[in-house]
Amino acid sequence: MSARPARAQGTAPATNSDLMAFLSKKTWQFTYFASQLGDGMWGGKNILDFGGNIGNILRDPKSTIDVRRYWCIDVDKEAIEQGEKVYPRGHWLWYNRYCFFFNPCGVQSLRLPELDQLFDYIVAYSVFTNTTPTDMLELVGQLEGRLARKGALAFTFIDPHYRSWPGRYHGNNFLWRLEREQELAAERGETLDIATTDLMSRAQHAEWLMLVNAGDLYVETEDIRRYEAEQQRTCHAFFTERYIKKLFPRATILPPVNNEMQHCCVIRRS
């Protein structure tokens, strides 16, 4: 995925229009959700891609989504504009809700935009991996209200203690993130001094945690100190499978598929 170069280098955004866009390069989201939902035939179904960015799910070679029945809601205005240019027959909605990294000038707790449609599938790939549990609970509650009869909401999350690639990678998902942040800093020509051993030890029994700006760890608290908008670089949220099950008791929790690191939480309309 691409980062926001200007933000990462510390350019101060005073308004949304000063922000560099985050344009996702991730692919295979359709394959992932088709597998998790046990259904690859999405033609004729209304699809809401929540936090869908530029609509990469449509680029998946296996996608059976009918673009005219595709809606994308995202807090990144430029991503929405870009997606609309490429897929003008889809429906693109910019949602000016606050998000630590993706929309630091947005409105806190803004309700979802009104939509006339109900959706057969609502998917959110790697969206609640960047939000607080309060945001996730609020948004999932509102999204559930947009499900059609027999509809399903599927969203991903990252379990910090899960080992995604045993035999190929030695650590768990949280260690992978710490090492990845160091790699990314090196690619930018920066040195990042992360206290890996200390962070791993503080995280080891956590049900959930947030890693802010690569080095600031918040364990089971949303009491994040104030960061100026230009300092809001990354916020990676991790939730254990057990914690997600506790928050959403009706949900089915599925392990990662497609060689990915993200679990899937599926909530079907009751």
Ligand X SMILES: C[S@@+](CC[C@H](N)C(=O)[O-])C[C@H]1O[C@@H](n2cnc3c(N)ncnc32)[C@H](O)[C@@H]1O
Binding flag, residue 268, ligand X (CB under 6 A): no
Size of the site for ligand X (CB under 6 A): 25
Contacts 24+ apart (CB under 8 A), 61-70: 62/30, 62/31, 62/34, 63/30, 64/30, 64/34, 64/40, 65/30, 66/42, 69/44, 69/45
Q: Which of 28, 125, 155, 208 binds ligand X (CB under 6 A)?
A: 125
Question: Could you tell me the smallest distance in angstroms from the CB atom of residue 124 to ligand X?
Answer: 7
Nearer to ligand X, 56 or 164 (CB): 56
Q: Hey, what are 223's tokens?
A: 């009491």
- Closer residue to ligand X, CB minimum distance, 154 or 251: 154
**Binding status of residue 21 toward ligand X by CB under 6 A:** no
Task: Tell me which stretch binds ligand X (CB under 6 A): 52-60, 161-169, 178-186, 243-251.
Answer: 52-60
Task: Tell me how many degrees the CA angle 83-86-92 measures, rounded to the nearest 5.
Answer: 35
In the block, which residue shows the tokens 């809001």? 232
Provide the token pair at 245: 């099950």
Least CB distance to ligand X at residue 98 (A): 8
| Dist CA 173 CA 77 (whole Å) | 30
Closer to ligand X at the Cβ: 22 or 218? Answer: 22
Pick 1 or 14: Cβ nearer ligand X: 1
Q: Which is nearer to ligand X, 109 or 201 (CB)?
A: 109
219 contacts 212 by C-beta, under 8 angstroms: no
Cβ neighbours around 205 below 10 Å, total: 10
**Residue whose beta carbon is closest to ligand X:** 51
Query: Residue 90, interface with ligand X (CB under 6 A)?
Result: no
Is 76 among the residues that bind ligand X (CB under 6 A)? yes
Q: Which of 33, 70, 92, 95 binds ligand X (CB under 6 A)?
A: 95
Sheet of 119-124: strand order equals 91-94, 70-74, 47-50, 119-124, 147-157, 263-268, 252-254
* Structure-token match 């990144």, residue found: 76
- Does 260 bind ligand X (CB under 6 A)? Our answer is no
- Residue of 4, 7, 69, 97 interacting with ligand X (CB under 6 A): 97
On whether the CB atoms of residues 260 and 158 are closer than 8 A, the answer is no
Q: Is 53 in the site for ligand X (CB under 6 A)?
A: yes
Give the whole-angstrom CA distance, residue 199 versus residue 196: 5
Q: Which residue in 13, 33, 46, 51 binds ligand X (CB under 6 A)?
A: 51
- Binding to ligand X by residue 31, rule CB under 6 A? no
For ligand X, the binding residues (CB under 6 A) are 1, 22, 24, 26, 29, 50-53, 56, 73-76, 79, 95, 97, 99, 102, 125-127, 130-131, 139
